[in-house]
Amino acid sequence: MPNPHTPALLTHDWSMGYPMTLRSVRLARLHTRRRLTMWNWAGDLDDAVLVTSELVANAVLHGRVVGHELWLRQAVLEDGRLSIEVSDPVRAFPEVKEWAGGETGRGLVVVSRVAGELDWFLRAEVGKTVRARLAAGT
């Protein structure tokens, strides 16, 4: 797993806190589409929105702690890749396991297939961050 603290030059950087409710998933999708359109990001906008939606939904469903919110950060790196980070207050890492049917349980499988990279790391103050990186367009 790459070092989460390796500096990378950014061309755009944005973050926002959200309450730990399912309504935040829709808001994060809307904010992502708007932000990446404003930035004129060259990658697949629908893939970025999907990855953001899945990571925020996982944080809401599995990382909820009373009195805390989740944080979404998006940054376009110097090479054009998009970094999507979702932080929540729970220190347990997610499991990426093949989907066995049913209505839930496939979010991280989808993210791992759509994103070029998927990793996570503990945060010094509280909880963890799950990070996906998507390639820029060709």
Q: Which residue has the higher pLDDT, 137 or 127?
A: 127
> Does the pLDDT value for residue 1 go beyond 50?
no
Tokens of residue 115, six digits? 């994103």
pLDDT at position 89:
95
> Does the pLDDT value for residue 35 go beyond 80?
yes
Q: For all residues of the chain together, what is the average pLDDT?
A: 88
Tokens of residue 102, six digits? 């049913």
Tell me which long-range contacts 33-42 makes (C-beta under 8 A, separation of at least 24): 35/74, 36/74, 36/82, 39/12, 39/76, 41/12, 41/76, 41/80, 41/82, 41/136, 42/80, 42/136, 42/137
> Does the pLDDT value for residue 30 go beyond 90?
yes
Round to whole Å and give the CA distance between 54 and 100. Answer: 17
